[in-house]
Amino acid sequence: MIDFFAEYYRYFMALHIIAVISWMAGMFYMPRLFVYHCRLEEGSEASEMFKEMERKLLRIIINPAMIFAWIFGLCMAFGHDLWGDLWFQIKFFCVILMSGFHGYLSRWRKLFARDENTHSENFFRKVNEVPTLLMIAIVFLVILKPF
């Protein structure tokens, strides 16, 4: 089975990169939607439109992209047996943190959907930096393999 992953490594890599780009696009965009959603009056037509946009972004783009990023990333890890490399372990931890942030986005979306958001526009501006910082760390770890 490991031979299968090794043989198709480049295909998995291409699919992984596509999934990660899609996942990250959504991870950057969702907090921006929250920033603007905070400005809207609860129950307004605009607020309801944002709720639908946030739901569709999460369900149609972010969730499937994360799932595929994980699937193809794990295929690559098994294909090249990366589990013992320190750079990979740190990268893997960063991806777990990114997935946790994904969970928070999902939770905050549900709060907006129920008109129960308690966070400010400024809060969402700041948390919007989390996926950026994690992405920078992940890319440097993958490209430089410093450990």
Q: Is 91 annotated as a binding residue?
A: yes
Cβ(63)–Cβ(125) below 8 Å: no
* Cβ burial, residue 76 (10 Å; 0-12/13-18/19+): buried
Annotated ligand binding at 51? The verdict is: no
| pLDDT 10s digits, 96-142 | 999 999 999 999 999 999 999 999 999 999 999 999 999 999 999 99
Whether 52 shows a pLDDT value over 90: the answer reads yes
pLDDT, one tens digit per residue, over 1-44 is 678 888 899 999 999 999 999 999 999 999 999 999 999 999 99
Scanning the structure block, which residue is given the tokens 């308690």?
118
Scanning the structure block, which residue is given the tokens 């969970």? 103
